[in-house]
């Protein structure tokens, strides 16, 4: 993420425009325990880095935001999501009782990369089926 952002900024600054969207886990917002403490910290750090990039890039017309995902059905967890017991436990904390789909994330990322999101920067936006709620 650091190297990709640095390389992207090198192109965006001279152009006077750009959109950076990083994808993190909602664990970075809520702090997951049970062996995910370091993972949570790393994702929180990624969100902080993105906020700093937003501060840096704003004067050049560059926005930077993070999308924080809840449990999303990706190839990495596809087999687990088919396990009824795992799914029941995993989804018990979600207001919308289903796993996220890659399209859920893609829709938010597409919006943040668009002109419609031109005045949104430095934010971490949860796409998580109501796992965590924010103001």
Residue 96 is given by DSSP the state S
Judge whether 39 counts as a catalytic residue.
yes
Q: What is the pLDDT of residues 23-51, one digit of tens each?
A: 999 989 888 888 889 999 999 999 999 99
* 8 Å CB contact between 74 and 132: no
Q: What is the pLDDT of residue 40?
A: 93
Within a 13 Å sphere around the CA of 22, how many CA atoms are in the beta-carbon half? 32
Q: What is the pLDDT of residues 62-101, one digit of tens each?
A: 999 999 999 999 998 888 898 999 999 989 999 999 999 9
- The residue from 39, 60, 94, 131 that is catalytic is 39
Tokens coding 99: 């796993």
CATH class of 2-6+15-127: alpha beta
**Cα–Cα distance measured from residue 91 to residue 42, given in angstroms and rounded to the nearest whole number:** 23
**Cα–Cα distance measured from residue 71 to residue 25, given in angstroms and rounded to the nearest whole number:** 9
């Amino acid at each position: 993420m650091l190297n990709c952002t640095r390389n992207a900024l090198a192109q965006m600054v001279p152009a006077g425009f750009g959109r950076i969207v990083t994808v993190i886990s909602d664990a970075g917002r809520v702090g997951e325990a049970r062996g995910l403490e370091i993972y949570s910290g790393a994702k929180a750090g990624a969100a902080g880095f993105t906020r700093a990039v937003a501060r840096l890039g704003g004067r050049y017309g560059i926005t930077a935001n993070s999308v924080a995902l809840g449990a999303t059905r990706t190839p990495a967890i596809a087999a687990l999501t088919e396990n009824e017991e795992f799914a029941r436990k995993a989804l018990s904390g979600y207001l919308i009782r289903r796993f996220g789909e890659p399209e859920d994330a893609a829709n938010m990322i597409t919006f943040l990369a668009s002109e419609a999101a031109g005045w949104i920067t430095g934010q971490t936006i949860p796409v998580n089926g109501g796992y965590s709620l924010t103001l």
